[in-house]
Chain A
Amino acid sequence: MNNKYVSRVGLCVGLTLIAAGAVAQEGDAERGQAAAASCSACHQADGSGMNLPDGESWPRLAGLDADYIAKQLHDFKAGRRENATMATFANMLNDQQIADVAAYYSQLPATQGQGGDEADETLLARGQQLAERGDWNAYIVSCQSCHGPGGKGVGDTFPGIAGQHAGYIRTQLSAWKSETRSNDPQNLMGAIAKRMSDDDIQAVSAWYAKQPASADQESTQ
């Protein structure tokens, strides 16, 4: 790889990040804890969030990738991801605080997802199928082909979805399906969500809510 190539790609990536308003900033978890005071009303002190079957579930943030959290906060601020509540709270944070809050939640131990317990066996089997193998007859790619083995997340682009609340996964997939959420890179999630039926969405949401979010959690179960 020659230097010209490196600098060109570097420049490209740099510009993209500036354009996205997400210049990578070192986060400090300790400062983040203080800044996260306003977040805990919904996301809870331990970052576990809350599954609300009939409303807008609050996602678990504990153990999610820091850069992923930071990107979402920047997107809320800039209107690339729309949510009235989150826009308000994200706007209270400056870039440094976003990095700090993201660092804080990322290092908290992941908690267990809720909302999958009422699902019956058939629904869970469909969920597992979509998660691990997809349904290529409908051109639905498996979740794990991007979210990684066990749905534990891949890098800072593909968030961990295992152990997330069923209500949250469901509303997000529905949002992608109806194009009210579209801050994914290259429409990677949107294209697939549009091919999922409401039952499919229920199924993966329930299945992933019941899966361990981290290796630690796996060993204690």
Chain B
Amino acid sequence: MPEECVDLNEVLERVQHDRELLLELFQIFLDDCPKKIEALKSAVKQADVQKIKDIAHSMKGASGNIAAKKINATFIIIEQMAKDNKIGEIRDKIGELDSQLAELRAYSKKLENDFKA
């Protein structure tokens, strides 16, 4: 069984079982994250380490708050790579985010249906 991309118990607890808020947060994240990925990519192109660090840090916090574990782990690594100046590896790591984001989108959709049911 593949690992769930979200620790639902953790995030539900954080939003105190406010399901609508949870779905709203997912939606905000799903809307925002692609923009941040684009920003990351352009920062990588310009080798702007500080900007990479900032974006990764911000997204680390946001993804952590919604308990999106896989995405969170990716941003933690990207932030660390930026700190370590490993820009070349960051590009590959960013590539993983697209599929993880798609997984989260599907998860959010499914959750929305589950809550309606």
Q: Please determine whether chains A and B interact with each other in the same assembly.
A: no
Chain A interface residues (CB < 8 Å from chain B): none
Chain B interface residues (CB < 8 Å from chain A): none
